[in-house]
Chains A and B, each alone.
Chain A
Amino acid sequence: MPPLQAPIHPAGPGQVPDPARSVSANRLSAGECGLICDIDGDHEDIERLKTMGVCLGRRLHVIKAGDPMIVSVMGTRLGIAGRLAGHVFLRPDDGVPCHERHQGG
């Protein structure tokens, strides 16, 4: 799936964004999050990401943007190279603010 230019909450806070829109993880800024809906490529590095929990259906929270970036998945903080994060696509899951979900992890 090609990366889209759209930010993750194009509809603005409080509004339900279009779930069809997805964005690659390296385009998010700190504090944003989403559900992993696609990971393209089946390179061994992608496989490494998957075994560490960056896998379809998991919630990913960006803690620090940049390259490399820091994300949180399943309560674990991971440092990920930007070129790898570009293969992970997210969609917003619901209206709950990210930091509240993060606290649960």
Chain B
Amino acid sequence: MSGTRADESGRHVSPVSLPVLPARAAVPVTVALAGNPNAGKTTLFNQLTGMRGKTANFAGTTTSVRLGSFPLNGKSIQLLDLPGLYGMSEHKTEERTARDALLGKLSGRPRPQAAIVVVDATNLARNLYLAGQVRELGVPMVIALNMIDLAEADGLEIDTDSLAVELGAPVVAVNSRSGQGFDLLKRELAYVLDSGPEAMPALPEGIAACGTCTTCPHEARYDWAEEVGARAVRTATGARLMSLRLTEAIDRWLTHPFHGVAGFVLIMAAVFISIFTVAQVPMAWIEAGFGFAGDVFGAILPPGDLNSFVVNGLIGGIGGVLVFLPQICFLFFLITLLEDSGYLARAAFVADRPMSRVGLPGRAFVPMLSAHACAIPAIMSTRVIENWRDRLVSILVIPLLTCTARLPVYVMITALLFADRPVVGGLVFTGAYLLGMAAAIGMAFVFKSTILPGASSPLVIELPRYRLPSMRNALLTAYDRGRAFVTRAGTVILGISVVLWVLATYPKLEESAWSTVVPAETIAQVAGLRTAAASVASEAEAEALEAEVGALLSPYELEYSVAGRVGKAVAPVFSPLGFDWKINVGVISSFAAREVIVATLAIVYGIGEDAAEDEETLSATLAAQRHADGSPVFTTATAMALLVFFVLAMQCLPTNVVTRRETGSWKWPALQFGYMTVLAWMAAFVTYRVVSLLA
């Protein structure tokens, strides 16, 4: 402010410099989104927020929510997507968490100023139960009467005005797939937010009466919901019956003890095969792209640590993460289509009985199928399992199932042992898959009878009507889960790759230390090459000779590094399995991602990393390896033991990190790592002994 100005009375006042208050920080307005599973809540969330949602866990709980935001009258509204709920029971963790979230009792989350309750218009009475409970909590709400298009197609006429009076909250008919009704929904939400909780009418009598019921607290609420629902819905025509009959007819097939199981096997096999065929195409592009990037940077950067760090540590690490992305996205795309169509509930229904024999619920099937692509998204998708113990057992055993990262290891070993007997190789390959499944089932049984006792939680699952799935929703989910994978697992994998690169590179093998690890004849060879390099005329020739020197020395550089020393130090642990210290280095290096062992073995056995891609060179080199006493390193027994070890060992720190996130404690990933390593060691030991005897 400068100069003087007149106040209202005309007096001149001197300028006073007042402290400048920051513009009132816009307090974020939080709106909770609640609704039954299958009411179309996720579609509504996506429609409101676009693709700006992110998944987070409630502080101190394992219940996850999605957060997003959308503009409303110039303000940014935080949308808190609660898990799908049938009610607000104290008995269910998710429902209790949702209730606490609505009441603002969760630390770090403010009490939402309002709630949007998504109600399935085709099944009003059933869905009003939850709306009634949200109303009881005293949170101002707007009812989004979703799937209004389907209700209309059914011939249902819903009187939104009378419903609004009965509920004491605005009711807006919407179609969350098309966006119909969203403008009105936002206007009503703005109105409710402006008027605040004081403006809410008194609790409808029917719900208020519930506070006193003692026998079944749900009874009065359901009576109320059914009455209100019946009053609001005017007509039902034959169209609804047709649709219900269609669902019933499809279910007669898909839940049948015989055709149902056949259909289940067919559908799941189609999902399984397509994640390995369709996703393979973009995976090959990604691999080729990162290979190209590695070549380009390898050529541009001067040889040395920086070159090696960028090419092997960074590009290799990022490529190792992103190569799985197509599979994960495609998997979630297919699962969302199945879920939207209504089939996934039937799959859980059909799988429940066989799965319960091993103590797992039917809902664990799809996560376990996904684990054959990658354990990380599989563990993330165990959230569909309601019971905590069931979910924990599933999480613990999922990494035993053969994921894509193990395949290069299986390929390497079967090529090494059975190159000339493809049938046997194929059988061993299949056997490795089956061993993983058997181990997962066996360990689930062990956990269920020891530390996490109890039969699996009995099945109660809503079987929604069949309907055409939404492509947009499936694409959004695939994007969302893909992004979660990259941010959660990707950063960890990248970090571990960098650490492993450091371990495998330092300390550097200086010329003065050559005598400790490099044999005399190699030193003589190097000296010869260097003399030759000094005398050649062209620079290119000299460089080629220097590269040869590098290749000669690289196995010894690795031996001299921390990784090499650790490999030697743990030799007593692994020698009963027939592993030499070089294999140990491979095992250690594969903690970021299992497939890394192939490249590591190629380096440690001195054929260079590039040769790892050529199966024949690699298996010929491995087959030619000899112990100090002249006996071959890769006997059938050692190779089989290595295979069994890789089928069963944890060998994937990123999975451990995701287990930590999903279970909220380090105890479970530690147990997972521990039991799998012990199991893998024992099984590999037995394999080694048995195969040695047979051979």
- List A residues at the B interface (Cβ < 8 Å): 39, 44-45, 47-58, 63-64, 66-68, 70, 74-81, 83-84, 103-104
Contacts and interface: CB of A to CB of B under 8 A. Distances in A.
Given A51-B92, A55-B219, A58-B222, A45 B123 contact: no
A81 B91 contact: no
A70 B251 contact: yes
A7 to B, nearest CB: 23
B337 to A, nearest CB: 20
Which of B346, B386, B463 counts the most chain A CB atoms within 10 A?
A: B463
Interface stretch (B294-302, B412-420, B454-462): B454-462
A50 B218 contact: yes
B219 A57 contact: yes
Does more than half of chain B's interface fall in helix, strand or loop, or is it mixed?
A: helix
Contact of A48 (B223, B236, B386, B463): B386
A78 B86 contact: no
Nearest to B463: A77
B245 to A, nearest CB: 10
B581 interface: no
A33 B676 CA distance: 49
Contacts of B346: 79
B219 A80 contact: no
A53 B129 contact: yes
Contact of B353 (A49, A67, A84): A67
B255 A84 contact: no
Given A48-B386, A57-B222, A80 B92 contact: no
18 contacts: A47-B89, A51-B86, A53-B86, A56-B216, A56-B218, A57-B219, A63-B248, A68-B459, A74-B222, A74-B225, A76-B462, A77-B247, A79-B345, A79-B352, A79-B463, A81-B352, A81-B460, A83-B458
A48 B128 CA distance: 17
Given A68-B353, A103-B241, 4 more contacts: A51-B87, A53-B86, A78-B463, A81-B458
Which of A54, A74, A80 counts the most chain B CB atoms within 10 A?
A: A74
B215 interface: yes
Contacts of A83: 458
Contacts of A70: 251, 255, 349, 463
A57 B86 CA distance: 18
A47 B91 contact: yes
Nearest to B128: A74
A9 B352 CA distance: 31
Contacts of A58: 222
A52 B241 contact: no
Contact of A74 (B126, B215, B241, B457): B126
Nearest to B240: A103
A29 B55 CA distance: 44
Interface string B229-261: 000000010000100000110011001010000
A57 B251 CA distance: 27
Given A45-B458, A76-B462, A53 B126 contact: yes
Given A48-B91, A64-B251, A77-B463, A55 B386 contact: no
Interface of B: 86-87, 89, 91-92, 95, 123, 125-126, 129, 215-216, 218-219, 222-223, 225-226, 236, 241, 247-248, 251-252, 255, 257, 345-346, 348-349, 352-353, 356, 386, 457-464
B92 A47 contact: yes
Given A47-B92, A48-B91, A78-B462, A53 B123 contact: no
Contacts of B95: 51
Nearest to A85: B458
B206 to A, nearest CB: 14
Nearest to A77: B463
Contacts of A68: 349, 352-353, 459
Which of B89, B125, B215, B460 counts the most chain A CB atoms within 10 A?
A: B460
A83 to B, nearest CB: 5
In the complex, the 3 A-B pairs of residues with the closest C-beta atoms, listed nearest first: A81-B458, A51-B87, A79-B349
Contacts of A80: 458-460
Contacts of A104: 236
A82 B123 CA distance: 25
A21 B336 CA distance: 45
Contacts of A103: 236, 241
Contact of B460 (A49, A66, A74, A75): A49
B215 A56 contact: yes
B223 A75 contact: no
Contact of A50 (B216, B236, B241, B252): B216
A17 B526 CA distance: 100
Contacts of A75: 123, 125-126
A55 B458 contact: no
B222 A53 contact: yes
A55 B216 CA distance: 7
Contacts of B219: 55-57
Contacts of B218: 50-51, 55-56
A48 B460 contact: yes
A81 B353 CA distance: 8
Which of A48, A51, A63 counts the most chain B CB atoms within 10 A?
A: A51
A56 to B, nearest CB: 4
Contacts of A78: 460-463
Contact of B92 (A44, A54, A63): A44
A38 to B, nearest CB: 10
B89 A51 contact: yes
Given A56-B215, A78-B463, A79-B463, A84 B458 contact: yes
Contacts of A63: 248, 251
A52 B123 contact: no
B317 to A, nearest CB: 44
A81 B387 CA distance: 15
